[in-house]
Amino acid sequence: MDKEYTPEEISEIIGGMLTKLEDGIKIRRIGPPKLADENTLALAMNEEEIENLSQTKAKIALVPLGVSSELISTIESERPRLAMMKLLHLFYMPPEVTSGIHETAVVHPTAKIGKNVSIGANVYISRNVSVGDNTKILPNTYIGRSVQIGENCLFHSGCNIGDNAIIGNRVILQQSVSIAADGFSFVTENPNNIEQARAEGEIKDQNTAQKIYKIPSVGSVVIEDDVEIGANSCVDRGTIENTVIGAQTKIDNLVQVGHNCKIGKACMIVSQVGIAGSCVIGDRVVIAGQAGLADHLNIGADSIIMAQAGVTRSFPEKSIIIGAPAVPRKDFIKQLQTMKRAEELIKKFKKYEHLIKDE
């Protein structure tokens, strides 16, 4: 049976202000005004959706504080997006999980499994693993030796967790996340072209017989409480020390976090970001989509790295970083202004170029 709420219940849950125009409203779902029916709470959180309320079949809408409608009932919210989050938790249907341990799961006898743990089909749990109470592990997940997993975690299907990883409480791993795979770390017998370029600014030698040796990773990964990592993202183990993901940090799909990185607390890292090894990212840093960070960088707390930025040097706290190679936002604007002025100068030069040629 669908979940059902009254407007009064919804208003109390989200801390909103109800304007009541019609009795007997039952809310069974939420949606945009144009797709809403009489049992839908229409989400009109911006100007476009507010205008669409004139076309809705809904009897009630969530709107920003101060917005009212003569057509339908409203619940006003000071922070509509926060209210939407609370609503989605009300109507969210969690994934189905096995109660207890599925008969096809393999759990090593030395593993310690907490109370009310769910372990799905074809899960493999290695020796000396500990799993906290109420944690749910969905099918086809692999958990390596001596991994420690906290309470109330949710690991979706197909996750791979390498040896010795430490995962805190309430951590969510989406489908096919890789934790604690070996880092991308190699060395050559003689200085390679990267080392030459860094040291001398050019590449001189050609060593066609150069051999590349793998540097093993003996560290692991520490994921603190309340972290979420999106589908197909990878967090590599440290070479000697652990890679660390700070509490409350949220990582989107298709993100690469290299070996030895230290990611701060409450960071937001958006899809297709690549962070090379040994970077230190401060607390509450936002890294937008497709940004790339070179190795051994320090990014200060409360900074924002804009989409597709190519970050090749460190930045202090509260920086807004943009461009490739990335620079502070103020410098980037100056560059754009300079290019615009240069364009105007070129037009002026072309206007009088014939005079110079005639001389």
Among residues 114, 95, 197, 100, the alpha carbon closest in space to that of 156 is found at 95
What's at 62, amino acid-wise?
L
Distances (CA, A) of 44 to 4, 24, 68, 82, 267: 20, 21, 11, 13, 28
CB 137 within 8 A of CB 155: yes
Torsion angle defined by CA atoms of residues 286, 287, 289 and 290, in that order, rounded to the nearest 10 degrees: 180
**Sole residue written with tokens 């219940």:** 9
DSSP labels for 108-164? -TT-EE-TT-EE-TT-EE-TT-EE-TT-EE-TT-EE-TT-EE-SS-EE-TT-EE-TT
Beta bridge partners of 161: 143, 179
Q: Kindly list the catalytic residues.
A: 259
DSSP annotation of 46:
S
DSSP 122-137: T-EE-TT-EE-TT-EE
The residue behind tokens 């004139």 is 54
